[in-house]
Amino acid sequence: MPEASKIHPDQLQDKLAALAQWRLDNAGQSIAREYRFDDFMQAFAFMSEMAIWSEKHDHHPEWFNVYNKVKVTLTTHDAGGLTERDLAWARHADAVFSRSH
Ligand code: HBI
């Protein structure tokens, strides 16, 4: 299980370099990205796979779906900001997205 303590802002830029599609949000307390699929079924398949991953890792997204778009916001409420758990979720979701796409 990744570390659940808040990442220092100085370390964040480096860590986010590999997550180029994600942007810092909410005064640096969360990251956000939008995924766009071909259709609703692809979007929902992605959400299903990430729902199972989220349960397994006890780390859950805030997300919003309309048809082929999934908007995701990640933060660690327990830590009051970004932790390695958020980055792990983002990395895994990007990998799922790129293979389904
Ligand atoms: N998911 N994104 C996110 N942030 C949390 O702090 C969090 C979570 N899933 C489960 C969880 N915390 C648990 O530790 C308890 O808060 C239920």
Q: Characterize 32-67 residue by residue with b for buried, 16 or more Cβ atoms within 10 angstroms of its Cβ, and e for exposed.
A: bbebebeeeebbbebbeebeebbeeeebebebebee
Atom of ligand 1 nearest to the CA of 78: 6
Q: What is the pLDDT of residues 34-84, one digit of tens each?
A: 999 999 999 999 999 999 999 999 999 999 999 999 999 999 999 999 999
Give the number of the atom of ligand 1 that is nearest the alpha carbon of residue 60.
1
pTM of the shown model: 0.95
Residue 39 alpha carbon to ligand 1 centre in Å: 29
| pLDDT of 101 higher than 90 | no
